[in-house]
């Protein structure tokens, strides 16, 4: 009898071990960021097609792109161009969104991943025997990933703590994290402990932009131009790769294919690579066979065409809108975007000059990129984290000022990781130049 119960318990554990969970996040708002919401809804659709249970997929999407007045297909989202409406796949259809609007925030994201019911909706209920897949698509910068304008950011320090706390709480056996943001490599470089069973793949390294695709004239569905980017290059590539390989493709094979296909940035991976390289993609993105045949998967696949740096997509959006309408309103919107960019550049320069003046150290070139051999050290990470927090308190983060984080990193270099003069400069200059942020 006891032996039978033991075998039954062993069988139940084996069933539990097969469960996959997913958390899908589009952390931006506005029609110019259409691509982020389309990427995530496509990911949801794909996981469902591959047999993942809907009750184990949690989504966070502001959901303002589909109903936006600029959208020629109200209520719909497309993640690639389509010649006709008959063949077009609306990825918003059937995309169940658990958290929208202001609920898309760092605080709620943390609560969802930690299984904390205070999130106000569905949260991870995974176990120490389960696999968890996290796909985060948004804007980012050195040491941070962003959320919609008006929300805070999530720092590299916070993300690493979150992943460790999840594991300590027994919320995963293995976790894969696909991150689509600019400078996304900076969230993991020299940070993930080898003992932590986490595998992270990023759209870019620590010092370069990610790229939008199917932009401009290529953003056409059924003969109508959407005048935005329909997808992000890295995201489109992994989604199409998973669609085209419904069998036992390994994470190693997917990484190599997606890395080679993503030609505008350098796709990176981090974590316990020996543990994950032979693991199957289907262990994290749905065990079931795809509902698509190989022919259907090929028909859906479209080679990415025009590509734009994520840093410039919003500017391109306002420019194309003005070219189409030639209206005073759209001309003013374009001018405001240009002025905002110039204002942020002046703010970066003034913060750097203030630190140099108060410390007697060298002036920092505000827009200098990170070193090619960038890697976090504990003192630099602590200094940068303090500077990011100060900027959030005194200036407030939004899409347009995220690149200030690079300036803050270089200032930490110049002050030998002393955050105090940087925090003081941020407080002073943000108050004086509030009009620009």
- Is there a domain that residue 316 lies in? no
User: What is residue 141's predicted lDDT score, i.e. its pLDDT?
Assistant: 97
Q: Which residue has the tokens 């209920």?
A: 125
d(CA 78, CA 387): 38
Q: Which residues are catalytic, by number?
A: 139
d(CA 99, CA 103): 6
User: What is residue 9's predicted lDDT score, i.e. its pLDDT?
Assistant: 44
Mean pLDDT of the chain: 91
- Is there a domain that residue 355 lies in? yes
Task: Place 399 in a pLDDT band, splitting at 50, 70 and 90.
Answer: very high
d(CA 307, CA 107): 33
Q: Are 391 and 293 within one domain? A: no
Query: Does residue 25 surpass a pLDDT of 60?
Result: yes
Which pair of structure tokens corresponds to residue 368? Answer: 């200098």
User: What is residue 12's predicted lDDT score, i.e. its pLDDT?
Assistant: 44
More confident residue, 397 or 372: 397
Query: Does residue 299 surpass a pLDDT of 80?
Result: no
Q: Are 43 and 186 within one domain? A: yes
The model's pLDDT over 105-161, given as tens digits with 9 standing for 90+, comes to 999 999 999 999 999 999 999 999 999 999 999 999 999 999 998 889 999 999 999
Q: Give the contacts of 17 (CB within 8 A, at least 6 positions apart).
A: 129, 130, 173
Q: How far is CA 339 from CA 74, 240, 342, 346, 400, in A?
A: 31, 38, 5, 11, 11
- Is there a domain that residue 373 lies in? yes
User: Can you give the CATH number for the domain in which 413 is found?
Assistant: 1.10.132
User: Can you give the CATH number for the domain in which 210 is found?
Assistant: 3.40.50.1460
**What burial class does residue 401 get, using C-beta atoms within 10 Å of its C-beta: 0-12 exposed, 13-18 middle, 19+ buried?**
buried
The count of domains in the chain is: 2
Q: Looking at 311, 335, 357, which one is the last position of a domain? A: 311
Which pair of structure tokens corresponds to residue 102? Answer: 């202001």
- Is there a domain that residue 246 lies in? yes
Q: Give the contacts of 11 (CB within 8 A, at least 6 positions apart).
A: none
- 399 backbone φψ class: left, alpha, beta (φ>0; ψ -120 to 50): alpha
Range with lowest mean pLDDT among 96-110, 209-223, 360-374:
360-374
Q: Are 86 and 194 within one domain? A: yes
- Give residue 212's domain range: 10-311
């Amino acid at each position: 009898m006891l032996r039978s119960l033991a075998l039954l318990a062993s069988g139940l554990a084996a069933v539990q071990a097969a469960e996959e969970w997913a958390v899908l996040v589009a952390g931006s708002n506005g029609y110019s960021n259409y691509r982020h919401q389309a990427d995530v809804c496509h990911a949801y659709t794909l996981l469902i097609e591959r047999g993942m249970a809907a009750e184990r997929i949690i989504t966070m999407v502001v959901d303002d792109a589909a109903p936006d007045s600029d959208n020629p297909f109200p209520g719909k989202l497309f993640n690639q161009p389509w010649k006709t409406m008959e063949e077009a796949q609306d990825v918003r259809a059937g995309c169940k969104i658990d958290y929208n609007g202001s609920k898309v925030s760092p605080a709620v994201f943390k609560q969802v991943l930690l299984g904390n019911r205070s999130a106000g909706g569905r949260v991870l209920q995974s176990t120490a025997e389960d696999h968890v897949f996290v796909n985060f698509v948004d804007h980012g910068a050195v040491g941070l990933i962003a959320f919609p304008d008006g929300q805070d950011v999530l720092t590299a320090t916070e993300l690493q703590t979150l992943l460790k706390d999840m594991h300590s709480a027994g919320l995963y056996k293995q976790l894969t994290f696909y991150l689509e943001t600019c400078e996304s490599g900076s969230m993991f470089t020299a940070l993930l402990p080898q003992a932590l069973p986490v595998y992270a793949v990023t759209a870019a390294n620590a010092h370069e932009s990610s790229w939008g695709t199917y932009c401009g004239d290529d953003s056409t569905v059924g003969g109508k131009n959407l005048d935005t980017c329909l997808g992000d290059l890295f995201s489109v590539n992994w989604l199409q790769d998973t669609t085209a390989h419904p069998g036992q493709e390994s994470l190693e094979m997917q990484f190599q294919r997606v890395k080679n296909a993503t030609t505008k940035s350098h796709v990176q991976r981090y974590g316990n690579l020996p543990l994950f390289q032979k693991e199957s993609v289907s262990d994290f993105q749905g065990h079931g066979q795809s509902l698509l045949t190989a022919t259907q998967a090929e028909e859906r696949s479209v080679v990415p065409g025009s590509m734009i740096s994520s840093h410039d997509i919003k500017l391109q959006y306002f420019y194309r809108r003005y070219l189409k309408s030639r209206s005073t309103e759209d001309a003013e919107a374009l001018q405001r975007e240009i002025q905002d960019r110039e204002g942020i550049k002046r703010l970066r320069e003034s913060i750097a000059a203030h630190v140099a003046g108060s410390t007697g150290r060298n002036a920092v070139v505000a827009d200098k990129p990170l070193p090619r051999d960038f890697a976090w050290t504990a003192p630099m990470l602590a200094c940068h984290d303090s500077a990011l927090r100060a900027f959030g308190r005194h200036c407030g983060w939004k899409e347009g000022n995220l690149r200030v984080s690079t300036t803050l990193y270089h200032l930490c270099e110049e002050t030998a990781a002393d955050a105090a003069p940087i925090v003081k400069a941020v407080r002073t200059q943000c108050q004086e130049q509030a009009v620009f942020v």
